[in-house]
Structure 1
Amino acid sequence: MGFMLLSVLLVVLMRWVNPLGSMLMIERKIAHWNMTQQRTWKDWNQISDNIKIAVIAAEDQTFSNHWGFDFKAMNRALKHNQNNKKIRGASTITQQVAKNIFLWSSRSWVRKGFESWFTLWIELTWSKQRILEIYLNSVEWDEGVFGIEAASRHYFKVSANQLTPTQASLLAAILPNPRKWSPVNPNSHIQKKAEWIRTQMNNLGGKYYLDKLK
């Protein structure tokens, strides 16, 4: 009961208070104690619309409509994983926020249970804008690089509000494995994925899609 009350309190508090870091950052720091971590918080209006729509196009195209869980994507992933060695995930942006901010990264049914609990309360108490804002400020983009401002400067030497559609699509394209792939030296797979993301950004309506998140 104490954990449940504390967890709900933390989630509600973060509706207004920006998290100082994330459990993922702590986990990475423990694993690589001497590694310097880069992260600078940027509010919603200080982040380019291009990267907002790019990560939605790449990671969670039903983001504006679901309540934290995409059951169709989960069913597709389940069928795929039954017949393939390479595991496919189906986490929404909300689920990724729950994991990155509050939980550990290793896969287990216990973690999935906690993730579902936090996901539910995040959807109940935060706006979609707030969810995406925290996601963009907490996601890992390279070794020791967390949040879109650090990633923008690390890769393209610009602030997060200056990202072009091409830069944004390349950043979104590496998210499944940001410590393996690079947006500035993209292989053919990342280039093709970035092109697909840009097409999806347009199909979703570009920056006008973001009006649904208010």
Structure 2
Amino acid sequence: MTNDLRDEPFDVEVSSSELVYRGYVWDVREDRFAYGDEELVRHYVDHTGAVAIVAMDDDGRILLIQQYRHPIRSRDWEIPAGLLDVEGEDPRDAARRELAEEADLEAEHWADLGTFALTPGGSTETIRIFLATGLSATPEAFAREGEEADIRLAWVPLDEAVHAVTEGRVHNAAMVLGIMLAAERRRAGA
């Protein structure tokens, strides 16, 4: 069964799809659709998608950033990440841009760790996570504002980050996925 375990695309007949709220970063949409013998109505966040980066140095440490996230009223630990909000931008190019903008870093090597639906019951958001290695500083530092103005950076050994995840001390989903995927990749010798 393990090799057969996978999500399956499934189309339904959508009778109407209406934008009910246009937001600064994402929108809310209402869909009416047939499912079996019923017509269902669902509201969801219509999201641009995002990328996240596990930046790992030559000593096996990963870069974590801490910044304020208003919806959860917390300065949570995260990996560098950002929206796919540039029309037609390749996700790897978006990851390069976000790593530079949030951490003043560039990477020589990039590995795709996968694409994940973070809240499939309420959002179209998917996040593509990359592993970046061969790190170096960008030629110049980026100006940051808003919640990014006081980002705190920390280089954390991967094993310590795994323990923070398994002990429930950190909660950011993209970071948890990235840390665990990087740890599994290292364990498998990739």
TM-score, structure 1 normalization = 0.25
Task: Look at both structures and tell me which one has the larger radius of gyration over its CA atoms.
Answer: 2
Structure with greater strand percent: 2
TM-score, structure 2 normalization = 0.27
Structure with greater helix percent: 1
